[in-house]
Amino acid sequence: MKILVAVKRVIDYNVQIRVKEDGSGVHTDNVKMSTNPPDDNAVEESVKLKESGKIKEIVAISIGEDKAQESIRKALAVGADKGIHVKSDSYIEPLGIAKILKKIVEKEKPDMVFLGKQAIDDDCNQTGQMLAAMLNWPQATFSSKLNIKEKSLEVVREIDEGLETLEINLPAIVTCDLRLNEPRFASLPNIMKAKKKPMEQLNAKDIGVDLSNRIEQLKVEEPPKRKAGIKVASVAELVSKLKNEAKVI
Amino acid sequence: MSVLLIAEHDNSKLKPFTFNAITAASKIDSDVHVLVAGTSCESVSKETANIPLVKKVLVCDSPNYQNYLPENLAPLVIKVSEKYDHIVASANTFGKNFMPRVAAALDVSQVSDIIKVNGPDTFVRPIYAGNAFATVKSNDKKKCVTIRPTSFDAAEKSGGSAPIEKVEAVDIPSTSKFIKREETKSERPELGTARIVVSGGRGLESGDNFKLINDIADKLNAAVGASRAAVDAGYISNDHQVGQTGKVVVPDLYIAVGISGAIQHLAGMKESKIIVAINKDGEAPIFSVADYGLEADLFTALPEFLAELNKLNTIQK
Protein backbone atom coordinates (compact mmCIF):
# COMPACT_ATOMS: atom_id res chain seq x y z
CA MET A 1 0.00 0.00 0.00
CA LYS A 2 0.99 3.55 -0.60
CA ILE A 3 0.39 6.80 1.25
CA LEU A 4 0.44 10.31 -0.11
CA VAL A 5 1.09 12.75 2.71
CA ALA A 6 0.56 16.48 2.25
CA VAL A 7 2.64 19.01 4.18
CA LYS A 8 2.39 22.80 4.31
CA ARG A 9 5.06 25.29 5.28
CA VAL A 10 3.66 27.90 7.65
CA ILE A 11 4.85 30.52 10.14
CA ASP A 12 6.22 28.58 13.10
CA TYR A 13 3.69 28.01 15.85
CA ASN A 14 5.82 29.81 18.43
CA VAL A 15 6.15 33.04 16.47
CA GLN A 16 4.18 36.05 17.67
CA ILE A 17 2.21 37.15 14.59
CA ARG A 18 2.61 40.77 13.50
CA VAL A 19 -0.04 42.35 11.32
CA LYS A 20 1.21 44.68 8.55
CA GLU A 21 0.44 48.34 9.08
CA ASP A 22 -1.19 48.66 5.64
CA GLY A 23 -3.71 45.90 6.42
CA SER A 24 -2.53 43.69 3.56
CA GLY A 25 -1.60 40.68 5.67
CA VAL A 26 0.92 39.59 8.27
CA HIS A 27 4.71 39.95 8.30
CA THR A 28 6.47 36.89 6.89
CA ASP A 29 9.90 38.34 6.07
CA ASN A 30 12.64 37.04 8.36
CA VAL A 31 10.05 35.07 10.30
CA LYS A 32 10.77 31.48 11.32
CA MET A 33 8.82 29.02 9.19
CA SER A 34 8.23 25.32 9.79
CA THR A 35 5.94 22.47 8.82
CA ASN A 36 2.33 22.88 9.94
CA PRO A 37 2.22 20.92 13.24
CA PRO A 38 -0.59 18.41 12.47
CA ASP A 39 1.11 17.73 9.11
CA ASP A 40 4.07 16.45 11.14
CA ASN A 41 1.62 14.01 12.78
CA ALA A 42 0.46 12.92 9.32
CA VAL A 43 4.05 12.22 8.28
CA GLU A 44 4.82 10.42 11.53
CA GLU A 45 1.79 8.15 11.19
CA SER A 46 2.78 7.27 7.62
CA VAL A 47 6.28 6.38 8.75
CA LYS A 48 4.99 4.25 11.63
CA LEU A 49 2.76 2.34 9.22
CA LYS A 50 5.71 1.81 6.90
CA GLU A 51 7.82 0.53 9.78
CA SER A 52 5.09 -1.91 10.73
CA GLY A 53 5.19 -3.31 7.20
CA LYS A 54 1.65 -2.30 6.32
CA ILE A 55 2.76 0.41 3.90
CA LYS A 56 5.35 0.08 1.15
CA GLU A 57 5.80 3.62 -0.03
CA ILE A 58 5.31 7.17 1.26
CA VAL A 59 5.14 10.12 -1.11
CA ALA A 60 5.32 13.57 0.51
CA ILE A 61 3.87 16.53 -1.33
CA SER A 62 3.94 20.24 -0.68
CA ILE A 63 2.47 23.09 -2.69
CA GLY A 64 4.02 26.54 -2.45
CA GLU A 65 7.11 28.59 -3.09
CA ASP A 66 10.57 27.01 -3.46
CA LYS A 67 11.11 26.91 0.29
CA ALA A 68 8.17 24.50 0.63
CA GLN A 69 10.81 21.92 -0.31
CA GLU A 70 12.16 22.28 3.23
CA SER A 71 8.99 20.66 4.56
CA ILE A 72 9.27 17.88 1.98
CA ARG A 73 12.94 17.30 2.88
CA LYS A 74 11.95 17.06 6.53
CA ALA A 75 9.40 14.37 5.65
CA LEU A 76 12.00 12.54 3.56
CA ALA A 77 14.44 12.73 6.48
CA VAL A 78 12.09 10.87 8.81
CA GLY A 79 11.12 8.18 6.32
CA ALA A 80 9.16 9.34 3.27
CA ASP A 81 10.51 7.83 0.04
CA LYS A 82 9.82 10.45 -2.57
CA GLY A 83 8.89 14.11 -2.68
CA ILE A 84 6.68 16.12 -5.01
CA HIS A 85 6.97 19.88 -4.96
CA VAL A 86 4.24 21.78 -6.80
CA LYS A 87 5.57 25.28 -7.16
CA SER A 88 3.35 28.29 -6.71
CA ASP A 89 4.50 31.72 -5.63
CA SER A 90 1.01 33.00 -4.99
CA TYR A 91 -1.56 31.97 -2.38
CA ILE A 92 -3.93 29.20 -3.43
CA GLU A 93 -7.16 28.64 -1.51
CA PRO A 94 -7.90 25.17 -0.06
CA LEU A 95 -10.27 24.55 -2.99
CA GLY A 96 -7.41 24.98 -5.48
CA ILE A 97 -5.01 22.97 -3.31
CA ALA A 98 -7.53 20.11 -3.22
CA LYS A 99 -7.81 20.24 -7.03
CA ILE A 100 -4.04 19.95 -7.40
CA LEU A 101 -3.93 17.09 -4.88
CA LYS A 102 -6.68 15.29 -6.78
CA LYS A 103 -4.56 15.38 -9.96
CA ILE A 104 -1.56 14.04 -8.05
CA VAL A 105 -3.69 11.28 -6.50
CA GLU A 106 -4.88 10.22 -9.97
CA LYS A 107 -1.27 9.92 -11.06
CA GLU A 108 0.29 8.41 -7.93
CA LYS A 109 -2.69 6.17 -7.04
CA PRO A 110 -2.16 6.04 -3.26
CA ASP A 111 -4.42 3.95 -1.02
CA MET A 112 -4.62 6.72 1.52
CA VAL A 113 -3.97 10.44 1.68
CA PHE A 114 -2.90 11.81 5.06
CA LEU A 115 -3.11 15.51 5.85
CA GLY A 116 -3.04 17.67 8.97
CA LYS A 117 -6.53 18.50 10.16
CA GLN A 118 -5.98 22.24 9.87
CA ALA A 119 -3.24 24.66 8.86
CA ILE A 120 -2.34 27.04 11.66
CA ASP A 121 -1.97 30.03 9.32
CA ASP A 122 -5.34 30.41 7.57
CA ASP A 123 -7.13 28.08 10.05
CA CYS A 124 -9.49 26.94 7.25
CA ASN A 125 -9.84 23.23 8.07
CA GLN A 126 -11.04 22.34 4.55
CA THR A 127 -8.45 20.71 2.29
CA GLY A 128 -8.79 17.07 3.33
CA GLN A 129 -12.58 17.09 3.25
CA MET A 130 -12.59 18.87 -0.12
CA LEU A 131 -10.18 16.35 -1.59
CA ALA A 132 -12.37 13.52 -0.26
CA ALA A 133 -15.41 15.04 -1.98
CA MET A 134 -13.58 15.51 -5.28
CA LEU A 135 -12.34 11.92 -5.28
CA ASN A 136 -15.62 10.65 -3.88
CA TRP A 137 -13.64 8.88 -1.14
CA PRO A 138 -14.67 8.39 2.49
CA GLN A 139 -12.98 10.59 5.07
CA ALA A 140 -11.92 10.45 8.69
CA THR A 141 -11.20 13.91 10.05
CA PHE A 142 -9.52 14.84 13.35
CA SER A 143 -8.12 11.31 13.73
CA SER A 144 -6.40 10.38 16.96
CA LYS A 145 -6.02 6.62 16.44
CA LEU A 146 -5.71 4.48 13.31
CA ASN A 147 -5.88 0.78 12.68
CA ILE A 148 -5.34 -0.47 9.13
CA LYS A 149 -7.28 -3.54 8.10
CA GLU A 150 -7.07 -5.33 4.77
CA LYS A 151 -9.41 -3.11 2.82
CA SER A 152 -10.48 -0.60 5.39
CA LEU A 153 -9.36 1.70 8.17
CA GLU A 154 -10.70 1.82 11.68
CA VAL A 155 -10.33 5.35 12.94
CA VAL A 156 -10.97 7.06 16.27
CA ARG A 157 -11.87 10.71 15.76
CA GLU A 158 -11.86 13.56 18.23
CA ILE A 159 -15.24 15.29 18.22
CA ASP A 160 -16.73 17.99 20.44
CA GLU A 161 -18.62 15.44 22.53
CA GLY A 162 -15.72 13.04 23.00
CA LEU A 163 -14.58 10.29 20.65
CA GLU A 164 -16.14 8.63 17.62
CA THR A 165 -15.05 5.40 15.92
CA LEU A 166 -15.60 4.82 12.20
CA GLU A 167 -14.67 2.14 9.75
CA ILE A 168 -14.01 3.54 6.29
CA ASN A 169 -13.17 1.68 3.10
CA LEU A 170 -9.91 2.24 1.28
CA PRO A 171 -8.96 4.34 -0.57
CA ALA A 172 -9.60 7.03 2.00
CA ILE A 173 -8.66 10.47 3.27
CA VAL A 174 -7.40 10.86 6.83
CA THR A 175 -6.88 14.23 8.51
CA CYS A 176 -4.66 13.97 11.55
CA ASP A 177 -5.07 15.42 15.01
CA LEU A 178 -2.17 16.41 17.24
CA ARG A 179 -2.74 13.46 19.56
CA LEU A 180 -2.38 10.83 16.84
CA ASN A 181 1.30 10.36 17.69
CA GLU A 182 4.48 12.09 18.77
CA PRO A 183 6.41 13.26 15.68
CA ARG A 184 10.06 12.21 15.75
CA PHE A 185 13.07 14.37 14.98
CA ALA A 186 15.26 13.58 12.01
CA SER A 187 18.81 12.48 12.76
CA LEU A 188 21.65 14.27 11.03
CA PRO A 189 22.66 11.24 8.90
CA ASN A 190 19.04 10.87 7.79
CA ILE A 191 18.84 14.57 6.93
CA MET A 192 21.92 14.06 4.72
CA LYS A 193 20.45 10.93 3.14
CA ALA A 194 17.17 12.74 2.48
CA LYS A 195 19.01 15.10 0.16
CA LYS A 196 19.59 12.18 -2.21
CA LYS A 197 15.96 11.04 -2.26
CA PRO A 198 14.00 11.88 -5.43
CA MET A 199 12.04 15.13 -5.55
CA GLU A 200 9.72 15.67 -8.48
CA GLN A 201 9.18 19.32 -9.36
CA LEU A 202 6.01 20.56 -10.98
CA ASN A 203 4.47 23.94 -11.50
CA ALA A 204 0.96 24.61 -10.22
CA LYS A 205 0.11 26.40 -13.47
CA ASP A 206 0.90 23.25 -15.46
CA ILE A 207 -1.37 20.92 -13.45
CA GLY A 208 -4.38 21.88 -15.56
CA VAL A 209 -6.90 22.86 -12.90
CA ASP A 210 -8.71 26.12 -12.15
CA LEU A 211 -6.73 27.82 -9.41
CA SER A 212 -8.55 31.14 -9.41
CA ASN A 213 -9.13 32.44 -5.91
CA ARG A 214 -12.76 33.15 -5.09
CA ILE A 215 -12.26 34.97 -1.82
CA GLU A 216 -10.91 38.50 -1.75
CA GLN A 217 -9.05 39.52 1.35
CA LEU A 218 -10.19 43.10 1.91
CA LYS A 219 -8.10 43.79 4.98
CA VAL A 220 -6.23 42.17 7.83
CA GLU A 221 -6.15 43.89 11.18
CA GLU A 222 -5.07 43.29 14.73
CA PRO A 223 -7.74 41.97 17.04
CA PRO A 224 -8.86 44.38 19.76
CA LYS A 225 -6.35 44.34 22.60
CA ARG A 226 -7.43 43.44 26.12
CA LYS A 227 -6.74 46.17 28.59
CA ALA A 228 -4.09 45.32 31.13
CA GLY A 229 -5.42 43.74 34.30
CA ILE A 230 -4.12 43.76 37.84
CA LYS A 231 -2.32 41.32 40.10
CA VAL A 232 -4.09 40.48 43.30
CA ALA A 233 -2.16 39.70 46.47
CA SER A 234 -4.31 36.94 47.90
CA VAL A 235 -7.10 34.50 47.20
CA ALA A 236 -9.41 36.51 49.47
CA GLU A 237 -8.76 39.64 47.40
CA LEU A 238 -9.42 37.69 44.21
CA VAL A 239 -12.78 36.42 45.43
CA SER A 240 -13.73 39.88 46.66
CA LYS A 241 -12.87 41.43 43.26
CA LEU A 242 -14.85 38.76 41.40
CA LYS A 243 -17.83 39.27 43.67
CA ASN A 244 -17.87 43.04 44.11
CA GLU A 245 -15.97 44.56 41.18
CA ALA A 246 -16.48 42.17 38.24
CA LYS A 247 -19.75 40.88 39.70
CA VAL A 248 -19.37 37.49 38.00
CA ILE A 249 -19.79 35.18 40.97
CA MET B 1 -32.29 35.16 -1.36
CA SER B 2 -32.71 32.62 1.41
CA VAL B 3 -30.12 31.06 3.67
CA LEU B 4 -30.00 27.32 4.28
CA LEU B 5 -28.74 26.38 7.72
CA ILE B 6 -27.86 22.79 8.57
CA ALA B 7 -29.08 21.97 12.08
CA GLU B 8 -26.91 20.04 14.52
CA HIS B 9 -28.93 17.80 16.82
CA ASP B 10 -28.96 14.39 18.45
CA ASN B 11 -32.24 13.22 16.87
CA SER B 12 -34.16 14.28 19.96
CA LYS B 13 -33.19 17.94 20.35
CA LEU B 14 -31.12 20.70 18.80
CA LYS B 15 -27.55 21.16 19.96
CA PRO B 16 -27.14 24.57 21.68
CA PHE B 17 -24.83 26.01 19.01
CA THR B 18 -27.53 25.67 16.36
CA PHE B 19 -29.31 28.60 18.02
CA ASN B 20 -26.19 30.75 17.66
CA ALA B 21 -25.78 29.66 14.04
CA ILE B 22 -29.40 30.68 13.35
CA THR B 23 -28.66 34.18 14.63
CA ALA B 24 -25.62 34.39 12.35
CA ALA B 25 -27.64 33.10 9.39
CA SER B 26 -30.32 35.72 10.01
CA LYS B 27 -27.67 38.45 9.75
CA ILE B 28 -26.86 37.20 6.23
CA ASP B 29 -30.52 37.16 5.18
CA SER B 30 -33.70 37.22 7.18
CA ASP B 31 -35.23 34.31 5.21
CA VAL B 32 -33.60 31.51 7.20
CA HIS B 33 -34.53 27.94 6.30
CA VAL B 34 -33.22 25.09 8.44
CA LEU B 35 -32.50 21.57 7.24
CA VAL B 36 -33.01 18.92 9.90
CA ALA B 37 -31.55 15.65 8.63
CA GLY B 38 -31.80 12.75 11.03
CA THR B 39 -33.54 9.57 12.07
CA SER B 40 -36.86 9.75 13.95
CA CYS B 41 -36.11 13.41 14.48
CA GLU B 42 -39.66 14.76 14.55
CA SER B 43 -39.16 16.46 17.91
CA VAL B 44 -36.15 18.32 16.46
CA SER B 45 -38.11 19.68 13.51
CA LYS B 46 -40.87 20.86 15.86
CA GLU B 47 -38.33 22.52 18.15
CA THR B 48 -36.80 24.24 15.12
CA ALA B 49 -40.17 25.46 13.85
CA ASN B 50 -40.72 27.24 17.18
CA ILE B 51 -37.69 29.48 16.71
CA PRO B 52 -38.99 32.91 15.61
CA LEU B 53 -36.01 33.60 13.31
CA VAL B 54 -36.69 30.41 11.32
CA LYS B 55 -38.97 30.88 8.31
CA LYS B 56 -39.11 27.29 7.10
CA VAL B 57 -38.00 23.86 8.32
CA LEU B 58 -36.96 21.17 5.87
CA VAL B 59 -36.90 17.75 7.44
CA CYS B 60 -35.35 14.64 6.01
CA ASP B 61 -36.12 11.70 8.26
CA SER B 62 -34.18 8.64 7.15
CA PRO B 63 -31.85 6.01 8.62
CA ASN B 64 -29.22 7.45 6.25
CA TYR B 65 -28.66 10.41 8.55
CA GLN B 66 -28.63 8.84 11.98
CA ASN B 67 -24.94 9.37 12.65
CA TYR B 68 -24.31 12.44 10.52
CA LEU B 69 -21.66 10.74 8.38
CA PRO B 70 -20.42 13.48 6.04
CA GLU B 71 -20.40 11.07 3.08
CA ASN B 72 -24.16 10.69 3.59
CA LEU B 73 -25.08 14.19 4.68
CA ALA B 74 -23.20 16.15 1.99
CA PRO B 75 -25.18 14.79 -1.02
CA LEU B 76 -28.46 15.69 0.70
CA VAL B 77 -27.26 19.22 1.51
CA ILE B 78 -26.10 19.65 -2.09
CA LYS B 79 -29.49 18.60 -3.43
CA VAL B 80 -31.43 20.85 -1.06
CA SER B 81 -29.06 23.79 -1.62
CA GLU B 82 -30.08 24.30 -5.25
CA LYS B 83 -32.50 27.06 -4.32
CA TYR B 84 -30.22 28.85 -1.88
CA ASP B 85 -27.45 31.41 -2.11
CA HIS B 86 -25.91 30.61 1.26
CA ILE B 87 -25.30 27.32 3.03
CA VAL B 88 -24.42 27.81 6.69
CA ALA B 89 -23.39 25.59 9.61
CA SER B 90 -21.54 25.89 12.92
CA ALA B 91 -17.75 25.84 12.77
CA ASN B 92 -17.48 22.98 15.26
CA THR B 93 -16.56 19.35 14.60
CA PHE B 94 -20.03 18.85 13.05
CA GLY B 95 -19.86 21.68 10.50
CA LYS B 96 -16.13 21.37 9.86
CA ASN B 97 -16.60 17.74 8.93
CA PHE B 98 -19.21 17.99 6.17
CA MET B 99 -19.25 21.59 4.89
CA PRO B 100 -16.01 21.44 2.86
CA ARG B 101 -17.40 18.33 1.11
CA VAL B 102 -20.43 20.36 0.09
CA ALA B 103 -18.30 23.33 -0.98
CA ALA B 104 -15.93 21.22 -3.08
CA ALA B 105 -18.76 19.43 -4.84
CA LEU B 106 -20.31 22.80 -5.71
CA ASP B 107 -16.90 24.24 -6.70
CA VAL B 108 -17.21 26.89 -4.00
CA SER B 109 -14.42 28.29 -1.84
CA GLN B 110 -15.67 27.96 1.71
CA VAL B 111 -15.46 30.82 4.21
CA SER B 112 -14.59 29.16 7.54
CA ASP B 113 -15.26 30.20 11.10
CA ILE B 114 -16.68 33.70 10.65
CA ILE B 115 -17.09 35.93 13.71
CA LYS B 116 -18.97 38.79 12.04
CA VAL B 117 -21.32 39.32 9.11
CA ASN B 118 -20.64 42.63 7.31
CA GLY B 119 -22.97 41.89 4.41
CA PRO B 120 -24.27 38.95 2.37
CA ASP B 121 -20.83 38.35 0.86
CA THR B 122 -18.45 39.99 3.34
CA PHE B 123 -17.37 38.43 6.61
CA VAL B 124 -14.73 38.76 9.32
CA ARG B 125 -12.79 35.66 10.34
CA PRO B 126 -9.86 35.10 12.68
CA ILE B 127 -6.62 33.77 11.20
CA TYR B 128 -3.33 32.77 12.83
CA ALA B 129 -5.03 31.52 16.00
CA GLY B 130 -6.98 34.76 16.32
CA ASN B 131 -3.87 36.95 16.22
CA ALA B 132 -5.27 38.67 13.15
CA PHE B 133 -8.78 39.31 11.87
CA ALA B 134 -9.32 39.11 8.11
CA THR B 135 -12.23 40.80 6.38
CA VAL B 136 -13.01 38.70 3.33
CA LYS B 137 -15.41 38.94 0.41
CA SER B 138 -16.65 35.79 -1.26
CA ASN B 139 -17.05 36.13 -5.03
CA ASP B 140 -18.61 32.70 -5.50
CA LYS B 141 -22.23 32.78 -6.63
CA LYS B 142 -23.20 30.32 -3.94
CA LYS B 143 -21.53 30.70 -0.57
CA CYS B 144 -20.61 28.04 1.95
CA VAL B 145 -19.99 29.58 5.36
CA THR B 146 -19.22 28.12 8.77
CA ILE B 147 -19.77 30.37 11.76
CA ARG B 148 -18.06 30.54 15.12
CA PRO B 149 -21.03 29.96 17.45
CA THR B 150 -19.61 31.82 20.44
CA SER B 151 -19.40 35.03 18.41
CA PHE B 152 -23.17 35.21 17.96
CA ASP B 153 -25.97 35.29 20.52
CA ALA B 154 -28.32 32.34 20.75
CA ALA B 155 -31.62 32.83 18.92
CA GLU B 156 -34.92 33.00 20.85
CA LYS B 157 -36.31 29.51 21.30
CA SER B 158 -40.04 29.99 21.17
CA GLY B 159 -42.77 32.08 19.65
CA GLY B 160 -42.34 31.05 16.01
CA SER B 161 -44.38 28.69 13.91
CA ALA B 162 -42.46 27.99 10.72
CA PRO B 163 -43.94 25.53 8.22
CA ILE B 164 -42.31 22.08 8.15
CA GLU B 165 -41.66 20.57 4.74
CA LYS B 166 -40.52 17.03 4.04
CA VAL B 167 -37.48 16.32 1.89
CA GLU B 168 -36.70 12.97 0.27
CA ALA B 169 -33.48 11.22 1.28
CA VAL B 170 -30.85 10.71 -1.39
CA ASP B 171 -28.74 7.66 -2.17
CA ILE B 172 -25.74 7.21 0.06
CA PRO B 173 -22.38 5.58 -0.59
CA SER B 174 -21.63 2.54 1.55
CA THR B 175 -17.98 3.39 2.02
CA SER B 176 -18.07 4.39 5.65
CA LYS B 177 -19.57 2.82 8.69
CA PHE B 178 -20.30 4.32 12.07
CA ILE B 179 -19.05 2.09 14.88
CA LYS B 180 -19.56 4.02 18.11
CA ARG B 181 -19.49 7.34 19.86
CA GLU B 182 -18.08 7.72 23.35
CA GLU B 183 -19.50 10.87 24.84
CA THR B 184 -18.22 12.24 28.09
CA LYS B 185 -21.26 12.48 30.33
CA SER B 186 -21.20 15.22 32.87
CA GLU B 187 -23.59 16.93 35.23
CA ARG B 188 -21.74 20.16 34.65
CA PRO B 189 -22.73 22.76 32.04
CA GLU B 190 -21.44 22.27 28.49
CA LEU B 191 -18.00 23.78 27.96
CA GLY B 192 -18.97 25.71 24.83
CA THR B 193 -21.89 27.53 26.42
CA ALA B 194 -21.07 27.64 30.14
CA ARG B 195 -21.21 31.00 31.95
CA ILE B 196 -18.09 30.12 33.92
CA VAL B 197 -15.18 27.90 32.85
CA VAL B 198 -12.43 26.66 35.16
CA SER B 199 -9.46 25.29 33.22
CA GLY B 200 -6.39 23.38 34.30
CA GLY B 201 -3.03 23.03 32.60
CA ARG B 202 0.20 21.15 32.94
CA GLY B 203 0.70 22.79 36.33
CA LEU B 204 -1.90 20.37 37.73
CA GLU B 205 0.75 17.64 37.37
CA SER B 206 -1.73 14.75 37.26
CA GLY B 207 -5.24 13.69 36.36
CA ASP B 208 -6.02 13.10 40.04
CA ASN B 209 -5.19 16.70 40.84
CA PHE B 210 -7.95 17.83 38.47
CA LYS B 211 -10.18 17.14 41.45
CA LEU B 212 -9.08 20.57 42.71
CA ILE B 213 -10.42 22.09 39.48
CA ASN B 214 -13.60 20.00 39.58
CA ASP B 215 -14.38 21.09 43.14
CA ILE B 216 -14.20 24.77 42.18
CA ALA B 217 -16.24 24.09 39.03
CA ASP B 218 -18.97 22.37 41.04
CA LYS B 219 -19.09 25.22 43.52
CA LEU B 220 -19.46 27.78 40.71
CA ASN B 221 -21.66 25.61 38.47
CA ALA B 222 -18.91 25.93 35.88
CA ALA B 223 -17.64 23.78 33.02
CA VAL B 224 -14.15 22.26 33.20
CA GLY B 225 -11.63 23.13 30.51
CA ALA B 226 -8.01 22.22 29.91
CA SER B 227 -4.95 23.27 27.97
CA ARG B 228 -3.61 21.05 25.22
CA ALA B 229 -0.66 20.17 27.45
CA ALA B 230 -3.00 18.75 30.09
CA VAL B 231 -4.94 16.73 27.50
CA ASP B 232 -1.76 15.45 25.82
CA ALA B 233 -0.43 14.40 29.21
CA GLY B 234 -3.59 12.34 29.71
CA TYR B 235 -4.87 14.30 32.73
CA ILE B 236 -8.27 14.80 31.10
CA SER B 237 -10.14 13.82 27.92
CA ASN B 238 -9.88 15.69 24.61
CA ASP B 239 -13.38 17.15 24.70
CA HIS B 240 -12.21 19.53 27.47
CA GLN B 241 -9.49 21.14 25.36
CA VAL B 242 -9.71 24.90 24.89
CA GLY B 243 -7.64 26.49 22.15
CA GLN B 244 -6.88 26.94 18.47
CA THR B 245 -7.53 23.31 17.63
CA GLY B 246 -9.87 22.63 20.55
CA LYS B 247 -12.91 24.58 21.61
CA VAL B 248 -13.36 28.32 21.59
CA VAL B 249 -15.12 29.56 24.72
CA VAL B 250 -16.42 33.02 25.61
CA PRO B 251 -17.72 32.71 29.18
CA ASP B 252 -18.42 35.59 31.58
CA LEU B 253 -15.60 34.23 33.75
CA TYR B 254 -12.63 32.10 32.67
CA ILE B 255 -10.30 30.87 35.39
CA ALA B 256 -6.98 29.54 34.06
CA VAL B 257 -5.08 27.49 36.61
CA GLY B 258 -1.55 26.26 36.02
CA ILE B 259 -1.78 27.29 32.37
CA SER B 260 1.17 29.23 30.99
CA GLY B 261 -0.84 30.76 28.15
CA ALA B 262 0.61 29.58 24.84
CA ILE B 263 -0.69 31.42 21.75
CA GLN B 264 -2.70 28.33 20.86
CA HIS B 265 -4.50 28.32 24.21
CA LEU B 266 -5.18 32.06 24.22
CA ALA B 267 -6.87 31.59 20.82
CA GLY B 268 -9.60 29.63 22.55
CA MET B 269 -10.37 31.88 25.53
CA LYS B 270 -9.10 35.44 25.20
CA GLU B 271 -12.52 36.81 24.24
CA SER B 272 -13.87 35.79 27.66
CA LYS B 273 -15.40 38.68 29.59
CA ILE B 274 -13.34 38.31 32.76
CA ILE B 275 -10.15 36.25 32.85
CA VAL B 276 -8.47 35.06 36.02
CA ALA B 277 -5.01 33.50 35.97
CA ILE B 278 -3.53 31.52 38.83
CA ASN B 279 0.08 30.59 38.18
CA LYS B 280 3.24 30.40 40.23
CA ASP B 281 5.32 31.82 37.37
CA GLY B 282 4.77 35.58 37.48
CA GLU B 283 6.19 35.90 33.97
CA ALA B 284 3.70 33.43 32.40
CA PRO B 285 2.08 34.93 29.26
CA ILE B 286 -1.39 34.12 30.62
CA PHE B 287 -1.04 37.15 32.93
CA SER B 288 -0.92 39.46 29.90
CA VAL B 289 -4.57 38.69 29.11
CA ALA B 290 -5.81 38.28 32.70
CA ASP B 291 -8.03 40.86 34.38
CA TYR B 292 -7.05 39.42 37.74
CA GLY B 293 -3.78 37.58 38.15
CA LEU B 294 -2.77 35.66 41.24
CA GLU B 295 0.85 34.62 41.43
CA ALA B 296 0.61 31.59 43.69
CA ASP B 297 1.13 27.86 43.96
CA LEU B 298 -2.14 26.37 42.75
CA PHE B 299 -1.94 23.54 45.28
CA THR B 300 -2.38 26.01 48.11
CA ALA B 301 -4.43 28.61 46.20
CA LEU B 302 -7.20 26.28 44.99
CA PRO B 303 -8.18 24.87 48.42
CA GLU B 304 -8.12 28.46 49.74
CA PHE B 305 -10.23 29.57 46.80
CA LEU B 306 -12.80 26.87 47.55
CA ALA B 307 -12.82 27.86 51.22
CA GLU B 308 -13.39 31.53 50.31
CA LEU B 309 -16.21 30.57 47.95
CA ASN B 310 -17.79 28.51 50.71
CA LYS B 311 -17.79 31.62 52.90
CA LEU B 312 -19.95 33.52 50.41
CA ASN B 313 -23.64 33.67 51.20
CA THR B 314 -24.70 33.66 47.58
CA ILE B 315 -23.09 32.55 44.36
CA GLN B 316 -24.57 33.45 40.98
CA LYS B 317 -25.64 30.38 39.05
Q: For strand B111-114 and strand B143-147, is the pairing parallel, antiparallel, or unpaired? A: parallel
Give the per-residue pLDDT at B185: 82
Residues 65-124, chain B, touching A (beta carbon < 8 A):
69-71, 74, 91-94, 96-105, 107-113, 122
Give the per-residue pLDDT at B16: 94
Give the per-residue pLDDT at B130: 93
B154 occurs within a structural domain: yes
CATH code of the domain covering residue B103: 3.40.50.620
The alpha-helical segments, DSSP class H, found in chain B are 16-28, 42-49, 70-80, 93-105, 210-220, 228-232, 263-266, 298-311
Q: Is B179 on the interface with A (CB under 8 A)?
A: yes
Question: Which of A107-111, B179-183, B309-313 shows the lowest mean pLDDT across its residues?
Answer: B309-313
Give the confidence band of B317 by pLDDT, cuts at 50, 70, 90: low
Q: Give the CA angle between residues A61, A62, A68 to the nearest 5°.
A: 135
B72 occurs within a structural domain: yes
- In residues, how long is chain A? 249
Q: Are A65 and A88 in contact (CB under 8 A)?
A: yes
CA B250/CA A91 separation, integer angstroms: 32
Q: Which helix (H) or strand (E) holds A78?
A: helix A68-78
Average pLDDT over residues B16-35: 97
B177 occurs within a structural domain: no
Give the confidence band of B126 by pLDDT, cuts at 50, 70, 90: very high
Q: How many other C-beta atoms can be found within 10 angstroms of the C-beta atom of residue A205?
A: 11
Does residue B60 sit in the same domain as residue B208?
no
Q: Which of A133, A134, A223 sits opposite B133 (nearest CB)?
A: A223
Does residue B157 sit in the same domain as residue B202?
no
Give the confidence band of A225 by pLDDT, cuts at 50, 70, 90: confident
Does residue B258 sit in the same domain as residue B151?
no
State how many domains chain A has: 1
Q: Is B281 on the interface with A (CB under 8 A)?
A: no
Residue B147, domain extent: 3-166
Domain C-terminal end among B166, B182, B204:
B166
Residue % of chain A over a pLDDT of 70: 100
Identify the residue among A20, A124, A174 best suited for mutation to test binding to B, counting B beta carbons within 10 A and taking the highest: A124
Does residue B108 sit in the same domain as residue B34?
yes
Does residue B115 sit in the same domain as residue B252?
no
Decide if pLDDT at B1 tops 80: no
Q: Is B297 on the interface with A (CB under 8 A)?
A: no
Give the per-residue pLDDT at B184: 81
Does residue B140 sit in the same domain as residue B244?
no
A216 in the Ramachandran plot: left (φ > 0), alpha (ψ -120 to 50) or beta?
beta
Identify the residue among B151, B174, B176 best suited for mutation to test binding to A, counting A beta carbons within 10 A and taking the highest: B176
3-state secondary structure of A118: coil
CA A172/CA A184 separation, integer angstroms: 25
Does residue B250 sit in the same domain as residue B108?
no
Average pLDDT over residues B276-288: 96
State how many domains chain B has: 2
Does residue B156 sit in the same domain as residue B276?
no
**Of A153, A206, A207, residue with least CA distance to A180:** A153
Does residue B114 sit in the same domain as residue B206?
no
Does residue B115 sit in the same domain as residue B223?
no
B188 occurs within a structural domain: no
Q: Is A244 on the interface with B (CB under 8 A)?
A: no
Residue A30, domain extent: 2-245
pLDDT in tens, A55-102: 999 999 999 999 999 999 999 999 999 999 999 999 999 999 999 999
Decide if pLDDT at A228 tops 80: no
Domain C-terminal end among B114, B144, B166:
B166
Average pLDDT over residues A187-216: 96
Does residue B225 sit in the same domain as residue B266?
yes
Q: Give the CA angle between residues B185, B189, B193 to the nearest 5°.
A: 120
Q: Is B221 on the interface with A (CB under 8 A)?
A: no
CATH code of the domain covering residue B307: 3.40.50.1220
DSSP per-residue codes, A5-23: EE--EEE-TTSPP-B-TTS
Q: Which helix (H) or strand (E) holds A105?
A: helix A94-108
Give the confidence band of B186 by pLDDT, cuts at 50, 70, 90: confident
CATH code of the domain covering residue A126: 3.40.50.620
Residues 212-231, chain A, touching B (beta carbon < 8 A):
213-223, 226, 228-231
Q: Are B35 and B88 in contact (CB under 8 A)?
A: no
Average pLDDT over residues B270-278: 96
Does residue B205 sit in the same domain as residue B154?
no
